[in-house]
Amino acid sequence: MSYTGIGSRNTPKDVLEDMRDLGSLFARMNLTLRSGGAPGADTAFETGCSRILGTKEIYLPWKNFEDNPSPLHTVTRSALETAEKVWNMSRDSSFKYLKQPIKLLMARNAYQIAGKTLDEPSLFVVCWTPDGCIDAAGRTKQTGGTGQAIAHASYLGIPVFNLQREHALDELIEFVEKF
């Protein structure tokens, strides 16, 4: 069973500490972390998971992204097609006009949500964005790149817990206790 731990590079320090703690907690629960190796939220979840040698899948848009050694850095045509579908469903602009590095980042997000084969969805998403976005409809420019993953999760019916929201941490703990 996997969860997705992601968010803004500018996540507040106190939230980053919560994310490290959650990464450790979920690793103790034998949940596999899916994340993307970016500074900020991604790194906080990965650090927490690594503290107790938890299982993780760190998906990178290209080899050595942010100096992360993860071997999961190949982006397939299927991931690009998924990213394009999600982008075009939730944005006013067309995916085809994005620069290639942005396309690769968006495709990497598809793996974070649906796994290596794009058909094993995460149980839930934990994130932080400045606008508190939790679904495709609430995606704004402030949501940043995390919005692509949130939109994908939204379309798949995966619950998103955005720690920018007042009661998100309590709701997340309540949700996880069901397992």
Question: How far, in Å, CA of 140 to CA of 176, rounded?
Answer: 28
> Residue 13 CB: number of other CB atoms within 10 A?
8
Q: Where are the domains of the chain?
A: 2-177
Domain range 2-177, CATH class:
alpha beta
Which of these, 65, 45, 39, lies nearest to 5 by C-alpha position?
45
127 strand-pairing partners: 162
One digit per residue, pLDDT tens: the chain, 179 residues?
Answer: 999 999 999 999 999 999 999 999 999 999 999 999 999 999 999 999 999 999 999 999 999 999 999 999 999 999 999 999 999 987 777 899 999 999 999 999 999 999 999 999 999 999 999 999 999 999 999 999 999 999 999 999 999 999 999 999 999 999 999 87
Contact 37, 61 (CB under 8 A): no
> What's the distance, CA 13 to chain centroid?
18
